[in-house]
Amino acid sequence: MKQFFGKLYKFVKILVIVAVIALIIKALALDAFKIPSASMENTLQPGDFIIANKFAYQISTPHEIPILGLPIPYANIYKMGEPKLGDVVVFEFPHGFESDNSNSNPKYVKRIVAGPHDTLKIVKGNLYVNGELLILPSTLKISELDDKNTKDVEIGIYPPGAKWNRYNYGPIIIPAKGDTIRINPGNFKRWQPVIVTDYGARTLLEEGTIVTLDGSAISEYVLKQDHYFVVGDNPAVSMDSRHFGCITDDMIIGKALLIYWSYDSEKIAPGPLGFLSAIRANRLFKIVD
């Protein structure tokens, strides 16, 4: 009996050590995410499970408690690189810009299509950066367009008041670290999302004839971070920067690396082993690009 408990203790000890190592890796270096929607088809499909590299751009202390997902204060330790055009990134959804608080997914996966000081314009679904057509991967899901969905003004397009839609958008200049924004009640709605996202707290208010940040009146704000415009690879159904504005360095969790598991729940066949038919074997360990 003593020998049995000795072996059991060693086994449990190994499990605990492995679990701790896995939690450390998840908290600091790699993390796993499930693709819940069709917004990144056909690059990523609903039911894909991906691994993201948290060290791609920044080494930092954990942003949240592993498993529980509760956000905690963190500190950036060392910058590894800059996000690039075409990178598929996992990021935190801008807090406070959920439509009627209906967005239950706090993390999004999209592709960076424009960076700091780039000028972005979308014409009939084609993306132009600094006047040049952006060449995107062939995995994009292209929708057929007609005159109606390319000419109508779309509600909920960023920035507020823009007479654009998701297929014809811009031009818009992407904000960059060090830019000075002059803000007043007349342009408050235009710049509020940018400043709130950059500052990291929703404390910018319009109070009569003045604008206040943390209770102090301001007439200008200097951006602390670089900003990036992100769009889904299935732009017809994607909720992205065309709706909530740019994301910042601090919002980016990591760069998507590969698909480690893929499962189509709608293709489960009858029988005890029917779940095997739902596994997309051709997508396993596929590099995300």
CB 143 within 8 A of CB 166: no
35 or 149: whose pLDDT is higher? Answer: 35
Q: May I ask the CATH class of domain 2-175+225-287?
A: mainly beta
Task: State both tokens at 72.
Answer: 């905690």
Q: At residue 10, does pLDDT exceed 90?
A: no
Domain boundaries, the chain: 2-175+225-287, 178-224
* pLDDT at site 4: 62
Q: At residue 158, does pLDDT exceed 90?
A: yes
Q: How far is CA 187 from CA 193, 206, 215, 236, in A?
A: 11, 10, 19, 29
Can you tell me the distance from the alpha carbon of 27 to that of 24, in angstroms, rounded to the nearest whole number?
5
6 band by pLDDT with thresholds 50, 70 and 90 = low
pLDDT, tens digit (0-9, with 9 covering 90-100), for 170-205: 999 999 999 999 999 999 999 999 999 999 877 899
Q: Which of 6-10, 18-22, 64-68, 100-104 has the lowest mean pLDDT?
A: 100-104
Can you tell me the distance from the alpha carbon of 199 to that of 4, in angstroms, rounded to the nearest whole number?
57
Average of per-residue pLDDT across 132-146? 81
Cis ω on the peptide bond leading into residue 103 (within 30° of 0)? no
pLDDT, tens digit (0-9, with 9 covering 90-100), for 240-275: 999 999 999 999 999 999 999 999 988 887 877 777
CB 142 within 8 A of CB 42: no
Q: Which of 48-57, 61-70, 95-104, 190-199 has the lowest mean pLDDT?
A: 95-104
pLDDT, tens digit (0-9, with 9 covering 90-100), for 219-248: 999 999 999 999 999 999 999 999 999 999
Average of per-residue pLDDT across 69-92? 88
Q: Which of 2-11, 24-33, 125-134 has the lowest mean pLDDT?
A: 2-11
Can you tell me the distance from the alpha carbon of 227 to that of 206, in angstroms, rounded to the nearest whole number?
23
Q: At residue 161, does pLDDT exceed 70?
A: yes
The secondary element (H helix, E strand) that includes residue 51 is strand 48-53
Task: Kindly report the pTM of this predicted structure.
Answer: 0.86
Terminal-to-terminal C-alpha distance of the chain: 55
CB 223 within 8 A of CB 229: no
